[in-house]
Amino acid sequence: MSLSTVLQQNLNEILNAIRQAQERSPNAAERVRLVAVTKYAHPDWVRALSDLHPVFGENRPQQLAERAELLPGQEWHMIGRLQRNKARAAVKHASLIHSIDSLRLLQAISNASESEGKAASVLLQLNLSREEAKSGFSPEEIRSLWSELTASAANLKICGLMTMAAATEDPEDARPTFRELREIRDELNLRDETTAAGIDLSELSMGMSGDFIPAVEEGATLVRVGSRLFAGLPTP
Ligand SMILES: *Cc1c(COP(=O)(O)O)cnc(C)c1O
């Protein structure tokens, strides 16, 4: 089978699974978008996939910048940990930055937005699995920092929340994490500062190859899928 046949088949399976999860769950969002995570994908695969799917995600600013310049017709998302000194590259190349994990980074993105003359769209990342190695605000932190976060959003758009569930064998284990993200989103959307700042947390970025089905059932609007999309391809 050719490269693009395998990619099309994997893509169809994932899009069908998303659609079925949407149909069976009352908590699912009406519109769910697939972010194809290309961080480990060979450049030939990335090029072939760009004929089939419009939205790509990268987790490192350097590779994001390089690939966004090669394929400017794609919509590129920054999904990985971001240092403040890379804020400008992320603002320049990404249509959405999923991984804002501190107030200082939000402020750096705001400054970069001003100097790039482009209002960045961002998601705030929550660490709900309480794993040391994962970045993100804890629920307590995001609640206590909410006033400051919304006040720092003048040059940018806070569009929603993102999380990564703990890696497990059974995708069902991730469901409580996804439900918690939706509940925190609903709670923050009701706070006075949110409406005062004109913020609507409509996006929930959650679910990866191993757990995107419960994520969609719990309300994901963006799923970030990498390895499953490139399964069965020979290493070039
Ligand atoms: C790599 C990565 C993904 C995709 O992971 P897969 O398990 O390969 O689907 C999703 N989100 C983030 C933040 C990642 O770094």
Q: Which domains does the chain have, with CATH numbers?
A: 3-225 (3.20.20.10)
* Average model confidence (pLDDT) across the chain: 96
User: 130 pLDDT exceeds 90?
Assistant: no
**37 CA to centre of ligand 1 in angstroms:** 6
Q: Which two tokens stand for residue 215?
A: 């994520």
Specify the pLDDT at position 223. Answer: 98
**Ligand 1 pocket, residue 225 CB under 6 Å:** yes
| pLDDT (mean) for 70-93 | 97
* Whether pLDDT at 1 is above 90: no
Q: Tell me the pLDDT tens digit for each residue of 20-77.
A: 999 999 999 999 999 999 999 999 999 999 999 999 999 999 999 999 999 999 999 9
Cα 23 to Cα 31: distance, rounded to the nearest angstrom: 11
From the CA of 59, give the closest atom in ligand 1: 15
Residue 227 CB less than 6 A away from ligand 1:
yes
The pTM assigned to this predicted structure is: 0.97
Least confident of 26-35, 100-109, 122-131, 219-228: 122-131
* Terminal Cα-to-Cα distance of the chain (whole angstroms): 14
Ligand 1 atom at minimal distance to the Cα of residue 39 = 1
pLDDT, residue 129, reads 83
Report d(CA 236, CA 225) in Å as an integer. 21
Average pLDDT over residues 135-154: 95
37, 169, 216: residue to mutate for ligand 1 pocket, most atoms within 8 A of CB: 37
What pLDDT does residue 236 have?
Answer: 63
Which atom of ligand 1 approaches the CA of 162 most closely?
13
Instruction: Specify the pLDDT at position 193.
Output: 96
Confidence bin at 234 (pLDDT 50/70/90): confident
Separation of CA 81 and ligand 1 centre (Å): 12
From start to end of 41-175, where are the E strands?
Answer: 55-58, 75-78, 96-100, 121-126, 157-163
Which pLDDT value is given to residue 154?
A: 86
